[in-house]
Structure 1
Amino acid sequence: MQQFSVVISGFDHYEGIDINPSAEAPRLLAEQGLGISADIDDPLSGVSVDIHTVGLPISFTDAWPELERVLDAVEPDIVIATGLKRSARGIALERCATNLMDASGRDDDGVETRRTPIDPDGPAAYWTRLPLRAILRDFTAADIPATLSSDAGTYVCNSLFYHLMHWNAGRRRVLSGFVSFPKVAQSAHSQQGLTLECQVAACRSVVRETIRYHLSPSSEEILLD
């Protein structure tokens, strides 16, 4: 049986948000599992997966070091960082982490960072290593609203994404990236956001499709445009 270790991070608290999907969806997924079947038709049949979740502070200074400590301890095959995109209608699959901190507000430490590089010596951007096309196809089949997003903004989400992809650059067997959740809607027909159940299903799809890609890579599935 092939073993996979997956780390999924979320943020601990967002001001004005009662139900935080980046905390709740990973937690519920870890409880409910990936629904792997012994049926030969399940591409993950015969695969065992350990899911580790971690909540991070909305802090330019502390978010990445806390995630890095978990990664060093777990040595995962897959890392999926998640956050909240308040204006999103559905799931946003982030394509690119940019080397820029340009926050319009302060983080939880009271820090406001404007037009500052994350790493003055680092590249301008990193691309995700998640198979976005494959994930989108699975979302479509499951009727999960989603989009490819150019970037994760210039706040703590993007900073974490950039640090993660810099870490991943030296670990070519690891697949990682960033997924933004919308606000939690109370009904399936809301004009903004998605139900928590739908967001857990989306999180499950991201993990399953990334494991499937890890088992059988295809350049077509990781296209970014």
Structure 2
Amino acid sequence: MEKINVIISGYDHYEGVQVNPSMEVARALAERGITPSHDSVKGEDPLDRLSMQIKAVALPVSFEQAWPILHQAIEEFQPNIVISTGLKRRARSIAMERCAVNIKDTTQEGESAERSLTSNGEPIDSKGPAAYWTRLPLRSILHAFSQHGIAATLSSDAGTYVCNAVFYSILNWAKAHPDVLAGFVSLPPVVDATATNQRNLGLPLEQQIQAGQDVVREAVRYYIQPSSCDMLIA
């Protein structure tokens, strides 16, 4: 039986954020695994033929610490797929990030937890390319979201903070590991599923966990049976 290792990272709680969905989703996926999908076409699901292990990695909101911690976990776990997640406070749906840019800049207004970090338009890697495209099968992931009624969009702006820096660093590392799939998912704030006065302010945690399962499931399927029609970066 083929074995697939998946790392999914999220960020610890920080000031002003009571529930950080990125770490909650990562931990839930590691604990629950990937539930069978009832939306696939009839016939054998390739996921039935493999053993999957998911490792959650907690990252601090720090340029200096986040990537080294994730890199160490990657070296130890040897994943086939690396999915990083982070909270995008202004998002109202899941945002599948298309690209990571080679810049870290905290001079613009953004997440308060990162304003204390000092970085003014510096490159993440002075010898690296300007940007990298995601390696995740965005088209099939968005289709899975639509099947489960999960609000989602494509994004070409992962910001210039720690989330983007980790995203870029993963893909920069993956340049030397062409068989590894990697990408970034931005998550919206968590809202109470029973509340009636929080419309369009985010998504319930369970729905975000379902989205995380869809991302992992479709990434694994693509890893096993790659298809160009599942990619969507433009």
Cα distance between partner residues in 2 of 1:111 and 1:199: 28
1:139: which partner in 2? 145
Structure 1 residue 109 displacement after superposition: 9.8
1:58: which partner in 2? 61
1:114: which partner in 2? 120
2:82: which partner in 1? 79
Alignment check: 8 A CA contact 1:60 1:107 kept: no
Normalising to structure 1: TM-score of the pair?
0.94
1:155-211 deviation line (CA, Å, top 9, x unaligned) = 000011111000011101100000010000102663210000000000000000000
2:185: which partner in 1? 179
1:21: which partner in 2? 21
For 2:155, what is the secondary structure of its paired residue?
Answer: strand
Q: Which amino acid aligns with 1:49?
A: M
2:169: which partner in 1? 163
Which range moved further: 174-183 or 215-224?
A: 215-224
1:116-143 deviation line (CA, Å, top 9, x unaligned) = 1111111000010000011001101111
Structure 1 residue 5 displacement after superposition: 0.3
Cα distance between partner residues in 1 of 2:211 and 2:14: 21
Alignment check: 8 A CA contact 1:93 1:146 kept: yes
The number of equivalent residue pairs is 224
2:8: which partner in 1? 8
1:210: which partner in 2? 219
Alignment check: 8 A CA contact 1:36 1:42 kept: no
Structure 1 residue 40 displacement after superposition: 4.8
Cα distance between partner residues in 2 of 1:31 and 1:64: 23
1:128: which partner in 2? 134
Structure 1 residue 14 displacement after superposition: 3.1
Task: List alignment gaps of at least 5 residues for structure 2.
Answer: none
Q: Which amino acid aligns with 1:177?
A: G
Structure 1 residue 42 displacement after superposition: 3.0
Cα distance between partner residues in 1 of 2:17 and 2:7: 24
1:100: which partner in 2? 103
Alignment check: 8 A CA contact 2:11 2:58 kept: yes
Q: 1:109 to 1:119 in 2, by over 3 A?
A: same
